[in-house]
């Protein structure tokens, strides 16, 4: 009985259009920003290689990070990069 249900679910998933699959996965993969407290799709959170972040994504959304950091102040950008455990390349910012 269970295997029959799994086969039916696979067939339903295969029948979905690609854009419907994307919408479905976006609805499933949502996170809550610890700063603004809004629930947002996972792609609105920066990727990070750090194991300290769940799912290798920042716990603060991209919108809040942009508000927190002045992009013309290199010290703040460097601090953000350290927080996200990503390299800071000064040549990309100057």
| Predicted local confidence at residue 25, as pLDDT | 58
pTM over 0.85? The answer is no
Q: Residue 12: inside a domain, yes or no?
A: no
Q: Residue 39: inside a domain, yes or no?
A: yes
The H or E element containing residue 76 is helix 74-84
Q: Residue 4: inside a domain, yes or no?
A: no
Domain range enclosing 70: 28-93
Q: Residue 15: inside a domain, yes or no?
A: no
Report how far residue 36's alpha carbon sits from residue 69's, in angstroms, rounded to the nearest whole number.
15
User: Which tens digits make up the pLDDT trace of 44-75?
Assistant: 999 999 999 888 999 999 999 999 999 889 99
Please provide the DSSP assignment of 9-73 as one string: HHHHHHHS-HHHHHHHHHHHSEEE-TTT--EEEGGGEEE---TTSGGGEEEEEHHHHHHHS-TT-
Q: Residue 5: inside a domain, yes or no?
A: no
| Predicted local confidence at residue 1, as pLDDT | 37
Q: Residue 60: inside a domain, yes or no?
A: yes
Number of domains the chain is built from: 1
| Predicted local confidence at residue 59, as pLDDT | 94
Answer for the pair 30, 12: CB distance below 8 angstroms, yes or no. Answer: no
């Amino acid at each position: 009985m269970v295997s029959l249900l799994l086969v039916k679910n696979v067939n339903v998933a295969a029948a979905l259009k690609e854009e419907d699959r994307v919408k479905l996965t976006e609805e499933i993969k949502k996170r809550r920003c610890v700063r603004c407290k809004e629930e947002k799709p996972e792609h609105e959170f920066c990727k990070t290689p750090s194991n300290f972040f769940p799912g290798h994504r920042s716990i603060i959304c991209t919108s809040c990070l942009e508000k927190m950091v002045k992009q013309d102040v290199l010290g703040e950008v460097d601090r953000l990069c350290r927080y996200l455990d990503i390299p800071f390349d000064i040549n990309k910012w100057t």
